[in-house]
Amino acid sequence: MNNQIIKRSPSNIAIVKYWGKHGTQLPNNPSISFTLSNCFTETKITYSENESMSLEFYFEGKENPAFKAKIEKYLNENRRYFSFLNNLDLKIESYNSFPHSSGIASSASSMSALIMCLLEIKYKDAKIDLREASYLSRLASGSAARSVYPTMTLWGKTPSLPDSSDEYAIPIGEMINPVFKTYHDSILIVSSKEKSVSSRAGHSLMDNHPMAKNRYATARKNTEDLLTILKQGDLEGFIRITESEANQLHDLMSTSTPSYTLKEPNTIRIIDEILNFRKDTGLPVCYTLDAGPNVHLLYPDSCSKEIHTFIEETLKNYCFDNKYIDDIVSSNN
Ligand code: PMV
């Protein structure tokens, strides 16, 4: 008899960035992210008993050998956690809510959605342990560790939160000021091209980076400062750390050996427009960047009307095909 499981898991956007790792996907500094709502992966697993394990993988309706190989590698390397799959035929079908050509990285949502499905097979009707889900997601893709909780998440050991760990993320939504639960993330699509340097390669360029020590110390301090800022509802502090983290991430790329840049001319133009708009209006809007050229515009719900006019009248013109995606911090996964 065939059984079926369907799970959704969202993407997340880091405010303090994870960039540089060691051991088995352990971060060199803690990171903090918003969990999103509209950008998610939905994964369906149909399974039935057999004498050994087999795997089929479909992405958006088509067989995808590259992704299948990635999942097989992950399951082989982490066999000890997945013995419950040994006698199952698995058919995995995965869809992203965001267009393939949007340039949005999907590893966080896709790997966490997969792990949530696998754990549902393990636990059946019992509740999934989200810490275990975060741990296993981390082993697949570092930032996926943060996608299993709603609202806001911290991954990595930091002194003021004794419960924090490099091995899994913890939810911090309960301790933040309500204003941050109203945040929007409008993702301005500057380019839909595949990244010229993968995150995996970027992380490894941190190993011999001349600024690595300084970066990790700054990120540790930014994490502690941001936790206070989030509790206090300090929007100016939030803007300062968010933009500084985005700029540092891209500065690290341009000062790596070999050096590279993922920003495009319109990334810079959009950032300039945002800074001028903030100066002119005094509205608490800011930007962050992931490992790519797209700009994430972050703002509280209280100014969403003005920001939408700004996007429609100005920012959209710098976007590829005038494309942007309106997202919002998740209150629930
Ligand atoms: O999870 P990875 O290995 O794809 O690394 C993600 C790194 C950044 O997206 C640039 C930052 C972050 O913390 O999400």
Task: Please tell me the predicted confidence (pLDDT) of residue 94.
Answer: 97
Kindly report the pTM of this predicted structure.
0.97
Q: What is the largest CA-CA distance in the chain?
A: 67
Q: Are strands 3-16 and 31-49 parallel, antiparallel or unpaired?
A: antiparallel
d(CA 302, CA 197): 37
Q: Is the pLDDT of residue 1 over 70?
A: no
Cα 227 to the center of its chain, rounded Å: 18
Q: Where does residue 18 rank: exposed (0-12), middle (13-18), buried (19+ CB within 10 A)?
A: buried
d(CA 190, CA 264): 8
- Classify 308 as helix, strand or coil: helix
d(CA 174, CA 331): 11
**Could you report the per-residue pLDDT of 122-180, keeping only the tens digit for each?**
998 889 999 999 999 999 999 999 999 999 999 999 999 999 999 999 999 999 999 99
d(CA 239, CA 229): 10
Task: Please tell me the predicted confidence (pLDDT) of residue 105.
Answer: 74
Q: Which residue's structure tokens are 């035929």?
A: 89
Q: What amino acid occupies position 69? A: A
Task: Please tell me the predicted confidence (pLDDT) of residue 332.
Answer: 62
Ligand 1 contacts (CB < 6 A) are 14, 17-19, 31, 107, 141-143, 199, 203, 249, 290-291
Report the residue among 9, 16, 19, 139 best suited for mutation to probe ligand 1: largest number of ligand atoms under 8 A from its CB. Answer: 19
Cis peptide before 258 (omega within 30 of 0): yes
Residue 319 alpha carbon to ligand 1 centre in Å: 23
- Crossing angle of helices 235-254 and 212-232, in 10° steps, is 160
Nearest CA to ligand 1 atom 10: 291
Helical residues (DSSP H) of 64-129, grouped into ranges: 65-77, 107-123
d(CA 40, CA 100): 12
Report the residue among 185, 261, 290, 296 best suited for mutation to probe ligand 1: largest number of ligand atoms under 8 A from its CB. Answer: 290
Q: 31: which 2 tokens?
A: 């990171």
Residue 232 alpha carbon to ligand 1 centre in Å: 27
Residue 148 alpha carbon to ligand 1 centre in Å: 15
Task: Please tell me the predicted confidence (pLDDT) of residue 333.
Answer: 45
Residue 31 alpha carbon to ligand 1 centre in Å: 10
- Classify 74 as helix, strand or coil: helix
d(CA 146, CA 138): 8
Phi/psi of residue 3, nearest 5 degrees: -110, 155
Q: Which of 185, 209, 254, 139 is nearest to 38 (CA)?
A: 185
**Could you report the per-residue pLDDT of 91-111, keeping only the tens digit for each?**
999 999 987 767 777 899 999
**Could you report the per-residue pLDDT of 193-243, keeping only the tens digit for each?**
777 788 999 999 999 999 999 999 999 999 999 999 999 999 999 999 999
Q: How many CB atoms lie within 10 A of CB 66?
A: 8
d(CA 191, CA 319): 7
Cα 91 to the center of its chain, rounded Å: 25
d(CA 45, CA 93): 6
Taking the CA of residue 12 as reference, the ligand 1 atom at the shortest distance is: 14
Residue 272 alpha carbon to ligand 1 centre in Å: 24
Q: H or E segment at 230?
A: helix 212-232
Burial code of 101-137, b = ≥16 C-beta within 10 A, e = fewer? ebbbbbbbbbbbbbbbbbbbbbeeeeebebbbbbbbb
